[in-house]
């Protein structure tokens, strides 16, 4: 019931607007349209908790959802696709990397990728920052329902190979929001990270 309890806590453009840096939180990143909002909503069994990143004005905010008194999920901006000036993009990137590296309560990073377009420049950047910050990382290959079973497995293997390293901190799994595929598996990973 933990994820079903998720509710909006606060939105922050600057890190000093974020909730107290205590307890544990897991952040969700994803290029616009990758399926991040749908994944968060499916995980939390809610229809409209996370709004689509296309909503104007919300794009550059970190959205904090409270699960219980000590645990949170965070919806990160998907600057990779947004049509904004380069100067603004660089500023968002600075904020994001600062958040990922300085946030003590942040224990894990879920990078949501459209299984048909995995490991974009945006994804690789987030992966690099997550690794540098020593975070546990889950690459969520969503929209798996768009591929046949064999093609989806092959895509997962290709991503696993591409990111393989000795540290073992990166996991890769298939997901589909409408079909609820991989839902229990993500929740199990989040449980582990959040010490549920
Ligand atoms: P966001 O911008 O990353 O938050 O992406 P959204 O969650 O808003 O999804 C973008 C589009 O992809 C929407 O039209 C969703 O309905 C669709 N979508 C998201 N997840 C899935 C999925 O698992 N399967 C399918 N077939 N479509 C999805």
- Of all atoms in ligand 1, which is nearest to the CA of residue 30? 3
Over the stretch 153-166, which tens digit does the pLDDT of each residue have?
999 999 999 998 76
How many angstroms from the chain centroid is the CA of residue 95?
16
Which mutation among 27, 28, 31, 35 tests ligand 1's pocket best, with the greatest number of atoms within 8 A of CB? 35
Residue 166, both tokens: 């000795």
- Residues with Cβ < 8 Å from 2, sequence gap 6 or more? 67, 68, 71, 191, 194, 196
* ipTM score for this prediction: 0.99
Over the stretch 102-118, which tens digit does the pLDDT of each residue have?
999 999 999 999 999 99
What percent of the chain is modeled with pLDDT above 70?
Answer: 93
Global pTM? Answer: 0.95
Tell me the mean pLDDT in the region 71-77.
95
**Which residue's alpha carbon is at the smallest distance from atom 19 of ligand 1?**
35
Using a 6 Å CB cutoff, which residues line ligand 1? 30, 32-38, 52-53, 142-143, 145-146, 176-178
Which mutation among 144, 155, 177 tests ligand 1's pocket best, with the greatest number of atoms within 8 A of CB? 177
Domain that holds residue 92: 3-194
**Which residue's alpha carbon is at the smallest distance from atom 4 of ligand 1?**
37
Phi, psi for 94 (deg, rounded to 5): -65, -45
CATH code of 23's domain: 3.40.50.300
Residue 112: predicted pLDDT:
97
Helix (H, G, I), strand (E, B) or coil at 162: helix
* C-alpha closest to that of 118 among 33, 28, 13, 34: 34
Number of domains in the chain: 1
């Amino acid at each position: 019931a933990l994820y079903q309890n998720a509710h909006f806590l606060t939105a922050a453009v600057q890190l000093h607007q974020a909730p107290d840096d205590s307890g544990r939180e897991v952040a969700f990143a994803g290029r616009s349209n990758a399926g991040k909002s749908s994944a968060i909503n499916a995980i939390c069994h809610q229809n409209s908790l996370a709004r689509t990143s296309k909503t104007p004005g919300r794009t550059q905010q970190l959205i904090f959802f409270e699960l219980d008194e000590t645990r949170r999920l965070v919806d990160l901006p998907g600057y990779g696709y947004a049509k904004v000036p380069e100067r603004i993009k660089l500023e968002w990137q600075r904020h994001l990397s600062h958040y990922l590296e300085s946030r003590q309560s942040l224990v894990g990073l879920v990078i949501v990728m459209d299984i048909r377009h995995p490991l974009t420049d945006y994804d690789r950047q987030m992966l690099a920052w997550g690794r540098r910050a020593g975070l546990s990382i889950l690459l969520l290959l969503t929209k798996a329902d768009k591929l046949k079973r064999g093609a989806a497995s092959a895509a997962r293997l290709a991503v696993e190979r591409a990111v393989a390293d000795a540290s073992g901190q990166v996991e890769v799994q298939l997901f589909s929001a409408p079909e609820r595929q991989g839902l229990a598996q993500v929740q199990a990973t989040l449980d582990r990270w959040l010490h549920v």
